[in-house]
Amino acid sequence: MNYANIKRTTLILAMGAAGFSFHASAFDTDQVQDSQTSYAEQFNQLDVSGNGLLTWPEAAKDKSLNSKQFAKADKDHDGSLDKDEYAEIKTELGQKKVSQVVSDSVITTKAKAKLLAEESLKSLKISVETYKGEVILSGFVNNEATKAKAEEVVASIEGVKSVKNGLVVKG
């Protein structure tokens, strides 16, 4: 695969990933997310007082929420969340999670493409994994210069927060 094809493939994948946009203007509190209970069921489980509102102590039992998110979700500033406010924040958190996964996939794809395009690295089998913008390189290289070059190439990619270079120099 030549550099133009790699660049085109990377661009297509990045555009496809960017197309994953989600808008949260309408919520269905009975919607089931991630094969779990619906937001309405989660809300009802947390609403120990049974009054149709979640106070912070009740909502704090949902480990995906923190007090800052709770305050942001409390649109009417009454110190509690109704079902719609709860569903909105849960949807937003889910979207952020999906967005991070897509972003990591784009970084991994770009890293693999750049490593293949780099003449001194293209014949090597370098594994690339990305989690929350942190790239992990693994595999074997011939020398320290090649190891450093692989890290340099990957570190230059937009969105990369850090690179853990686990490449092993074989001798």
Give me the amino acid identity at 36: Q
163 within domain boundaries: yes
Q: How far apart are CA 84 and CA 107, in angstroms?
A: 34
Q: What is the number of other CB atoms lying within 10 angstroms of the CB of residue 136?
A: 16
Q: What is the number of other CB atoms lying within 10 angstroms of the CB of residue 64?
A: 11
On whether both 25 and 86 belong to a single domain, the answer is yes
How sure is the predictor about 36, in pLDDT bands with cuts at 50, 70 and 90?
low
Q: Is the pLDDT of residue 31 over 60?
A: no
How sure is the predictor about 16, in pLDDT bands with cuts at 50, 70 and 90?
very low
Nearest one of 101, 88, 168, 165 to 132, comparing CA atoms: 101
Q: Is the pLDDT of residue 154 over 60?
A: yes
Q: How far apart are CA 156 and CA 79, in angstroms?
A: 45
> 31 versus 151: which is more confidently predicted?
151
On whether both 95 and 150 belong to a single domain, the answer is no
Nearest one of 102, 101, 168, 158 to 137, comparing CA atoms: 168
> 107 versus 100: which is more confidently predicted?
107
Q: Domain range for residue 160?
A: 118-169
How sure is the predictor about 168, in pLDDT bands with cuts at 50, 70 and 90?
very high
Secondary structure (3-state) at 32: strand
2 within domain boundaries: no
Taking all residues of the chain, what is their mean pLDDT, rounded to a whole number?
81
On whether both 124 and 79 belong to a single domain, the answer is no
> 31 versus 136: which is more confidently predicted?
136
Q: What is the phi-psi region of residue 134: left when phi exceeds 0, alpha when psi lies from -120 to 50, beta otherwise?
A: beta
36 within domain boundaries: yes
Q: What is the CATH number of the domain that holds 89?
A: 1.10.238.10
Residue that terminates a domain, selected from 45, 65, 99: 99
Give me the amino acid identity at 150: A
Highest average pLDDT, of 8-17, 80-89, 121-130, comes from: 80-89
pLDDT for 4 equals 53
Contact indicator for 106, 13 with CB cutoff of 8 Å: yes
On whether both 85 and 37 belong to a single domain, the answer is yes
Our count of domains for the chain comes to 2
